Chain A
Amino acid sequence: MISGLRGIIDRLSRQRGVRASLIVSEHDGLVVDSSLRFGEGENGERVAALAASIYRKARLSADAAHLGAVSFLQLDADRGRLCAVGRDDLVLVVVAEPSANVGLIRVELFKALETIA
């Protein structure tokens, strides 16, 4: 399973414009595995904790609004975007540059979800 998660991280990180990819525990907000290009490990831990929190809130909001499960979460910012998908307790998070192809990232994220199902 661990090697499988490493493969997921590697595939996500190979996408053009991807600066970081992380597998995070939604419950704990802790990094399960990651590949970071934007700095030191502390940044990865910050991204993991906050992204897991955002994803959980999105999931709970969708549930409260009777919208069903969250399929894909995208957060656009000035200097890039954050994409996330989740299943069970795992959240796959990608931090990408503004020029990154979100469509491709989305496809890879869903493929990765199938892998960990």
Chain B
Amino acid sequence: MNVAAVESWIEAPLRRYVDDARARIAVLLHPSGQVMAQAGFTRDVDVMAACALAAAAHATSGELGRRLDGHPFRGVHYAGATHQLFLSALETRRGTYLCLTVFDETSSLGLVRLYCEELRRALISAAPNAITARPTPTLAADFEVELNRNLAALFSGPKGAAVIS
């Protein structure tokens, strides 16, 4: 599966996560919706939509959790007919990342949750200057510029059509 990352240190942990969890699609993004890495998508527009929707879902579930439980919910699971989705917030010293994972019957929610936690640990280990280097502030004035730059970095080759590779 093709794995692409805006920052190179993310690529290996994400690749391992996709292999271990047998994910069909995985996207790592900031809560603002800025994509950091992706695996499985072949079109930038699909990544952009996925990131926007994942960020919205995370914001919604987080607020629901705060109102119902006093704390934001950390994971959201949707089960479809053939594919399932797990959206998890990964707390690292560089800040919070969201991991959107799509999987099918070859994996399971338990495995995805298990390896999501391992991905979090791997990101912490792999992050350069883990404490000093902070991600770009959310909803910065240059959000769109950053978004387009990240998408361009992920999709430098010809654009395909399939959503799930």
Interface, chain A (partner B; CB < 8 A): 24-25, 27-30, 45-46, 48-50, 52-53, 56
Contact = CB atoms under 8 A, between A and B. Distances in A.
B163 interface: no
Contacts of B113: 45, 49
B6 to A, nearest CB: 30
B109 interface: yes
B130 interface: no
A42 to B, nearest CB: 8
Contacts of A45: 110, 113-114
Given A27-B108, A29-B114, A30-B108, 20 more contacts: A24-B110, A28-B109, A28-B110, A29-B109, A29-B110, A29-B111, A30-B109, A30-B110, A45-B110, A45-B113, A48-B110, A49-B110, A49-B111, A49-B113, A49-B114, A52-B108, A53-B108, A53-B110, A53-B111, A56-B108
**By DSSP majority rule, is chain B's interface helix, strand, loop, or mixed?**
helix
A45 B116 CA distance: 13
Interface of B: 108-111, 113-114
Contacts of A52: 108, 110
Contacts of A30: 108-110
Nearest to A29: B110
Contacts of B114: 29, 45-46, 49-50
Nearest 8 CB-CB pairings of A with B:
A29-B110, A49-B110, A29-B108, A49-B114, A28-B109, A49-B111, A30-B110, A29-B111
Nearest to B117: A42
A70 to B, nearest CB: 17
A86 to B, nearest CB: 14
A7 B5 CA distance: 49
Most buried by A among B108, B111, B113, B114: B108
Contacts of B109: 28-30
B84 to A, nearest CB: 9
6 contacts: A24-B110, A29-B108, A29-B110, A45-B113, A48-B110, A49-B111
